[in-house]
Structure 1
């Protein structure tokens, strides 16, 4: 990643990012919850990319170097937590489900940062309880380091609609299917099929944020039909692409 800025305190605030706007690599001494009320936010570290639409939030632990990328106009809500306050007990980034109550708590906390009134303290206590209970979602796109994996993943990043099997991609990059399958499981912690689905979902979210029609998104991202895309999207996010856009 590029030169890293050190920002001791993770801010609690709201911020609007224009489509395509980036926040360069930086780190905080505090933990941070990052929630995009609209648009799609991607948080990237040296280990991979975590991505979140409006029904998800991203946990960034203290000290972790990360950068942000917005797709579509993104209303960002940043919530800083002291390093000794870790409601998730995690030292790795994670994506959390944001239910309606947690959403309203995050919005309220970021609208009134530094509120030390009795009401503000009660709100914060409930917010921490909701964060502890929030389910974690598999919305990470791990970054490979092995050159053999890098070669395959670069082909799919260039065209996520590429329909070649792992054996065919291996033949194109000079590595056996068996070796690649082992590398996906061992280095990235998921199967090739799962990684490609995560890649396609990430690109699909970004295209939806740019108001690309659902059928076009399906074909650009490699699904055989709009109905197949809608089924995968619903299983991943709990609603259809059309409902997501609304």
Structure 2
């Protein structure tokens, strides 16, 4: 595992600056915490699914949730631990939330080099949680399938997101009918196969963009027939175009 180029840890948070391709060991924390990528893209892998965290998102990880991180592009990872009283308001399962401009500034202030007194930190924590409670959960959380047949489909498409096989064709490869798989996607993951595949592809696209690939390459590598259809799907899910995202806007 590549070593962090710079790390600062204190009781209420931390900063890790990782090179691209760094992966942490699976671990848990006794307190719930927020994870934010001030630069680069971070994927947070939990037992419930994978959270893709670009610069306009923040991940919430409840206490005692086993998880590990992987960086895509040089990544400036910020961690903010919440006191138990506020953590209860943040939710009981991992989630990805929209990071507004105010949320971003709060996270950067709480993890900055300037020391904060206890009262200031408590006030900033309360404002941060209030802002995040108003933020909609974002579709860059890819839930983890439980059924073995769904897991097999997920492995196929995770290995090759450009695979355009129909659900019927994939079903023959994993030993299940298209109708059965369609029902499992709905019942287990709460979405259609095509919605799930689009989210998986956008997750891969975020990673490839962080690694410096251009829009045309990313579109084809992730299964879109042309860049314009990729840009439309990416913008719908991420909230900005691939070009603006790559430029950090």
TM-score, normalised to structure 1, is: 0.91
User: Do the aligned partners of residues 184 and 113 (structure 1) sit closer, same or farther apart at CA in structure 2, a change above 3 Å counting?
Assistant: farther
- CA distance in 1 between counterparts of 2:146 and 2:238 reads 29
1:200 aligns with 2:201: yes
Contact 1:10 1:81 in 2 (8 A): no
Q: Give the aligned partner of residue 163 of structure 2.
A: 162
Contact 2:86 2:126 in 1 (8 A): no
- 1:38-69 CA-to-partner distances (Å, cap 9, x unmatched) read 11111111221011100000000111111111
Between 46-55 and 167-176, the greater mean CA deviation after superposition: 167-176
Between 48-57 and 78-87, the greater mean CA deviation after superposition: 78-87
- CA distance in 2 between counterparts of 1:113 and 1:171 reads 58
- 1:188-208 CA-to-partner distances (Å, cap 9, x unmatched) read 222111111111011100000
Shift of 1:153: 1.6
Q: Give the aligned partner of residue 3 of structure 2.
A: none
Q: Once superposed, what is the RMSD of the aligned Cα atoms?
A: 1.8
TM-score, normalised to structure 2, is: 0.90
1:17 aligns with 2:15: no
Equivalent residues in 2 for 1:171-210, closer than 5 Å: 171-210=172-211
- CA distance in 1 between counterparts of 2:89 and 2:98 reads 13
Runs of 5+ unmatched residues, structure 2: 1-9
Q: Give the aligned partner of residue 218 of structure 2.
A: 217
Q: What SS does structure 2 have at the residue aligned with 1:138? A: coil
Shift of 1:123: 2.9
Runs of 5+ unmatched residues, structure 1: 1-8
Q: What SS does structure 1 have at the residue aligned with 2:223? A: coil
Contact 2:48 2:144 in 1 (8 A): yes
Between 108-117 and 219-228, the greater mean CA deviation after superposition: 108-117
User: Do the aligned partners of residues 10 and 183 (structure 1) sit closer, same or farther apart at CA in structure 2, a change above 3 Å counting?
Assistant: farther
Aligned pair count? 238
Contact 2:82 2:125 in 1 (8 A): no
